[in-house]
C-alpha cells in the first residue's frame, strides 16, 4: 500500500470515527425516552422490531470500529472479523428495507396490491444484486491483513463493480419508497399544502421520509462511487450504514 492509499484509508478511519461518535451520542441522549416509552411498557411486536432496528445498527457499527482501530492477531482472525462485519451490514439493510416497506404499507391503507408490487420489485433488485455479487468470474475479494496494524477488504476493479450492484439496488429501493411517500402525501394534501404549518401524522411521515432519504443519498452515492471510481484501499470502506430509528 503506497502513501496515497494509506492517507485515504486514514481519512476513512477518521470519517467513520466521527460518524459513529454522532451515532453513539444520539443513543445516549435518547436513552431516557427509550426507557420511558419502550422498556417500561409491555413489549409489543412493534417495540421488539424497534429495538432490533436500533441496536443491530449500534452493535454493528461499534464492532466495525473495533476492527478498524484494534489490530488483528492473525490472518484467520481477520477473515472471521470481516465475515461477521459483512453479516451485520446485510442484517442492517434487511431491517431498513423491512421498516420502509411497513411504513409504506401502512401509509397506503395496508394495500395488498401495492405491497405485492413492492415485494416483487424488492426481490427483483435483491436477485440482481446477488447475481452480480455471486456471479462467476473474477472473485478477487480478499482480506488484507497487515500484522499489528490493519485488517480490511480489498477488491479488484471487476469485483468492486459487481459488489457495488448491491448498494445500487438499495439506493433504487429507497428511491422507490421515497417517491411513493411523496405521491401519497401530495395526493392526500395537495402539493400547495405540502409544506403548510398545520402538521399531522402524514406531514411527520413525509418530513421523516425526506430527511432519511436525503441523509442516505448523501451516504449511498459516495459509497457507490468508491466501488466504481475509488482506489483499491477505499473501495469497500464506506459501507457503514444505520437503520432509521423511527
Indicate if the pLDDT at residue 1 is higher than 80. no
Cα end-to-end span (Å), the chain:
41
Integer Rg of the chain from CA: 20
The C-alpha atoms of residue 224 and residue 162 are separated, in whole angstroms, by 11
Share of the chain above pLDDT 90, in %: 9
Indicate if the pLDDT at residue 242 is higher than 50. no
Non-local CB neighbours of 229 within 8 Å, separated by 6+ positions: none
The C-alpha atoms of residue 38 and residue 148 are separated, in whole angstroms, by 42
The C-alpha atoms of residue 15 and residue 13 are separated, in whole angstroms, by 5
Q: How many other CB atoms are there within 10 angstroms of residue 95's CB atom?
A: 19
Indicate if the pLDDT at residue 218 is higher than 60. yes
Query: Domain limits of the chain?
Result: 3-229
Q: How many other CB atoms are there within 10 angstroms of residue 155's CB atom?
A: 22
pLDDT of residue 183: 83
Q: How many other CB atoms are there within 10 angstroms of residue 135's CB atom?
A: 11
Amino acid at each position: 500500500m503506497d502513501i496515497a492509499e494509506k492517507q485515504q484509508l486514514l481519512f476513512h478511519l477518521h470519517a467513520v470515527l466521527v460518524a459513529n461518535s454522532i451515532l453513539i451520542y444520539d443513543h445516549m441522549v435518547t436513552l431516557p425516552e427509550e426507557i420511558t416509552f419502550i422498556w417500561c411498557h409491555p413489549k409489543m411486536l412493534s417495540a421488539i422490531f424497534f429495538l432490533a432496528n436500533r441496536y443491530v445498527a449500534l452493535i454493528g457499527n461499534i464492532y466495525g470500529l473495533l476492527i478498524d482501530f484494534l489490530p488483528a492477531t492473525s490472518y484467520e482472525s481477520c477473515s472471521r472479523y470481516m465475515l461477521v462485519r459483512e453479516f451485520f451490514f446485510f442484517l442492517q439493510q434487511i431491517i431498513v428495507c423491512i421498516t420502509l416497506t411497513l411504513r409504506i404499507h401502512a401509509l397506503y391503507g395496508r394495500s395488498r396490491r401495492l405491497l405485492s408490487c413492492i415485494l416483487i420489485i424488492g426481490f427483483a433488485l435483491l436477485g440482481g444484486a446477488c447475481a452480480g455479487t455471486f456471479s462467476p468470474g473474477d472473485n478477487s475479494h480478499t482480506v488484507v491483513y497487515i500484522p499489528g496494524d490493519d485488517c480490511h477488504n480489498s477488491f479488484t476493479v471487476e469485483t468492486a463493480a459487481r459488489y457495488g450492484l448491491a448498494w445500487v439496488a438499495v439506493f433504487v429501493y429507497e428511491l422507490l419508497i421515497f417517491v411513493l411517500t411523496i405521491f401519497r402525501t401530495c395526493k392526500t394534501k395537495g402539493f400547495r399544502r405540502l409544506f403548510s404549518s398545520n402538521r399531522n401524522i402524514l406531514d411527520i411521515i413525509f418530513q421523516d421520509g425526506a430527511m432519511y432519504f436525503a441523509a442516505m443519498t448523501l451516504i449511498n452515492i459516495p459509497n457507490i462511487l468508491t466501488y466504481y471510481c475509488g482506489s483499491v484501499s477505499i473501495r469497500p470502506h464506506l459501507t457503514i450504514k444505520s437503520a432509521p430509528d423511527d
